Amino acid sequence: MHPAFSVLFLTTLIGAGQGLFMALFWVETYALMGLVPAQDPGFHALGSALSLVLLGLGLFASFFHLGRPERAWRTATKWRTSWLSREVIVLPAFMGAVFVYGLAHWAGFNPSLGTLPGNQPVPLTMVLGIAGVILALALFVSTAMIYAAVKFLQEWHSPLTVVNYTLLGMASGFTLATALAAWAGNGLVPMLAGWAIILTLLGLVTRTASLIRNARIKPKSTLQTAIGIKHPRIQQKAQGFMGGSFNTREFFHHKSEGFVRMVKWTFLIATFLIPTVLLAAGVILPAEAVNLLVAAFVVQYIGLLAERWFFFAQANHPQNLYYQSAA
């Protein structure tokens, strides 16, 4: 597939935004359970704002993917069948949740909505956070299912796609949250960095699993089934046009195999290896934590762009069987 930059930015930006929000909720949950000190609501407000910025940028990027963005409102209509439609519904819902969550923190409006057994109060922000987390997860699933649901793209058509989108989004969000915590100097760095490392390494495991899986894929369609002729040796000579078409632009990356391989190693190093090292370093060297952790996020984000590029480039659409040769 052709990796469109709009989609690369969309998925990575909102992934980080979702992850960041989940990290904020994590902190709040930790705090509620007393595992970390209660945080200044400003931290959550700021984090939510940052999350919203990322989500907004992602949304903005997504419009570049549409031929007719002015009609984007129509997309909500087919939620029963279309994951894309679902994503379009969940994304603003999630953004709304983040906004309200952030607003509640910023305004310090956090009444208890009741108590749980054991007299544990249920603060409003906690409920909002749970709703947000559910929406964030739903958004991860919706986004990933846009790809995973396309059975023709066998590289994508796997639960691993959902797992990877979720884990990688969370990893980048937690890394960002770690950097934010370092900047805020609120002592959350070790906890968040720990989770960021865990998520990054889990992501490494599942992403590697999908690489291994994809390397073993046997294409379901062949030239034989594509044109319905049973002969071991079939070659296309002409695809019907010579100056290119939508079908040669949308479904091919038009890059060399070497380039694709280079991107793969880039994303493996940049998404997983370097951030892990930098996160650990950020914990070990608190004096340099801000720089190290910001660097960790930037490198990881760049790595994710590469990862997403590779995700598209690696996906081999069966339609390409029909577009192999021009003469």
Binding site for another protein (CB under 8 A): 1, 65-69, 71-72, 74-78, 81-85, 88, 146, 149-153, 220-221, 223, 225-229, 231, 233-247, 250-251, 317-320, 322-323, 327
With respect to another protein, which residue has the nearer C-beta, 208 or 320? 320
| Residue 164 in tokens | 């990877």
Least separation in angstroms between residue 36's CB and another protein is 41
With respect to another protein, which residue has the nearer C-beta, 195 or 312? 312
With respect to another protein, which residue has the nearer C-beta, 111 or 240? 240
Least separation in angstroms between residue 14's CB and another protein is 16
Cβ–Cβ < 8 Å for 101, 129: yes
d(CA 231, CA 244): 28
> Beta strands 112-116 and 120-123: pairing type?
antiparallel
d(CA 185, CA 245): 54
| Residue 16 in tokens | 């980080």
Label residue 254 exposed, middle or buried (CB < 10 Å: 0-12, 13-18, 19+): exposed
Start-to-end Cα distance in the chain: 22
Least separation in angstroms between residue 11's CB and another protein is 14
With respect to another protein, which residue has the nearer C-beta, 216 or 233? 233
Least separation in angstroms between residue 90's CB and another protein is 12
Cβ–Cβ < 8 Å for 220, 318: yes
With respect to another protein, which residue has the nearer C-beta, 156 or 267? 156
Least separation in angstroms between residue 245's CB and another protein is 6
